Amino acid sequence: MLNHGVSTGGLFLLVGMLYERRHTRLISDYGGLAKQVPWIATAFLVVTFSSIGLPGTNGFVGEFLILSGTWLSRLQAPGWYAAFGATGVVLGAVYMLVLVQKVFFGKITNPENRHLPDFSVREAFVITPVILLIVVMGLAPQPFLVQAKPSVDRLIARMQAAEQRLRQANPTLRPLVGTEPAAMAFARPPAVPAAAPEPPPPGGAAPAPAHGSH
């Protein structure tokens, strides 16, 4: 959620800056802006890379943790859930990159786009911390993850306690909390209750082991 807030907040800031210059949100009214406002185009591209989860940005850390956690979870066939989520990541990246291409690259077809000013000092002062957060959180995420660890541990402990109560009521219930090897991600056989031990023969004597012939 922290990564999402940084990248989405940066996109809203940059869209607002473009709107103040052109007073329109139609993609068709833009095009070729990278030639007129190169610093805005650069910042928009960096924030877009964060939004689509490019390695080295904060978005990659969040998406990797979510997809890897889904892959290793104890859901039924979690690999399919992870594949479905990865498909959404790819489609989102296509959408965002097409948006950048249409707004900032190509020829300038609208004369009103030929005289747009680039970042002002105030705008640069506002957007610079967002860019720094994207890079720092992407290259060194551990200080941010450590802050969330106590809350996550408490949540896992509560879920494990609830699972233990359910397993006391139903001993055949398969594990629900935690992770398992990735080889089990796509297909997992249903849990089979352990077979009850055979009753001893009449008289209580254990059967003698069989001897091979000599």
Identify the residue with better confidence: 47 or 205: 47
SS3 83: helix
Amino acid identity for residue 195 in this structure:
A
Residue-wise pLDDT for 50-107, tens only, equals 999 999 999 999 899 889 988 988 778 888 999 999 999 999 999 999 999 999 998 8
Cα separation, 47 vs 66, whole angstroms: 20
Q: Which residue, among 42, 34, 45, 46, has the nearest Cα to 116 in the 3D structure?
A: 34
pLDDT of residue 18: 94
Neighbours of 188 (CB within 10 A): 16
Cα separation, 104 vs 179, whole angstroms: 44
Residue-wise pLDDT for 158-196, tens only, equals 888 888 888 788 777 666 655 555 444 444 444 445 555
